[in-house]
Amino acid sequence: MNLNRFLVKPNSKLDLSKIDTAYTANLKSKGEGKKLLLENIKKMRELQSQLYAQDRYSLLLVFQAMDAAGKDGTIKHVMSGVNPQGTQVYSFKQPSAEELDHGYLWRINKALPERGRIGIFNRSHYEEVLVVRVHNLIKFQKLPEQFVNDNIWEQRYRQINDFEKYCYESGIIILKFYLHLSKEEQKKRFLSRIDDPAKNWKFSSADLKERGFWNDYQKAYEEAISATSKRHTPWFVIPADKKWFMRLVVSEIIVDAMKKLKSEYPKLSKEQIEQLKKAKEELLKEG
């Protein structure tokens, strides 16, 4: 699959309305997609063990989306085969009183994955330029007035880019996914959550209220993603109307990134190889 298709090129302007939410590439069936997903899960398991053994890099997967786009399901399916000891999932909700007493990256920094692990963010610091922008929540953030002005979003994009670059240079590979759902498909999913008693718990009337801000959110997403998709910390826009396809593409992108990482593993120096040989000789001499 051509994964470049889903990548938001650095310095490009994203127009979400031009991206087909129901795209399924040249795959013929859901079954075929599911089979490929299983193969990727197997590959991820192997690559994860190497990541863990190497203890140098970590992987951070950031998921953002409108309600009912399938963040939870994607996280569950895509990570189903990997060793739970090597993964850490964080779901970011409205900040607590303690969190509001710090800068917004405080809780994010604390949740970054350790070396060798895969970290998953279900929502993230991007909420700070999405929901906070759409609902004008800045006023609750206790910031000094001098820093709250019309430039605040630009300022946050810069801070986020700097922070993510620091993460990258510390060994954290960041992949950011926007699960791109159509408004029509969201309506269908909400209705099925209301009609199906087994899904009732998933529906909250707050979700309907947020739906009313659809266009504001799309605009905030476009701007934030355009400003923060960088070569080493890229955004991917994943068509989300077909869940099986969305999960497959996410798994493809993860496997691809992990493979690249593998080829960057540091090689042993000549001296280190000599040392290994000597150690082997010594052990064998023991008889």
Q: What residue ranges bind ligand ATP (CB under 6 A)?
A: 67, 72, 91-95, 122-123, 127-128, 131-132, 137
Beta strands in the chain (DSSP E): 58-65, 87-91, 118-122, 172-180, 235-239
Q: Which is nearer to ligand ATP, 32 or 99 (CB)?
A: 99
Q: Which is nearer to ligand ATP, 44 or 129 (CB)?
A: 129
Q: Which is nearer to ligand ATP, 140 or 265 (CB)?
A: 140
Smallest distance, Å, CB 123 to ligand ATP? 5
Separation of alpha carbons 34 and 218, rounded Å = 29
DSSP H helical ranges for 129-175: 131-134, 152-169
Smallest distance, Å, CB 231 to ligand ATP? 26
Smallest distance, Å, CB 124 to ligand ATP? 8
Smallest distance, Å, CB 94 to ligand ATP? 4
Q: Which is nearer to ligand ATP, 34 or 102 (CB)?
A: 102
Residue 117 makes CB contacts below 8 A (sequence gap 6+) with: 51, 52, 58, 59, 86, 87, 88
Q: Which is nearer to ligand ATP, 38 or 137 (CB)?
A: 137
Shortest-Cβ-distance residue relative to ligand ATP: 127
Smallest distance, Å, CB 215 to ligand ATP? 16
Cβ-contact 83, 234 below 8 angstroms:
no
Compute φ and ψ for 88, nearest 5 degrees: -140, 120
Q: Which is nearer to ligand ATP, 91 or 218 (CB)?
A: 91
Smallest distance, Å, CB 109 to ligand ATP? 14
**What residue has token string 């799309």?**
218
Cβ-contact 36, 248 below 8 angstroms:
yes
Separation of alpha carbons 239 and 249, rounded Å = 9
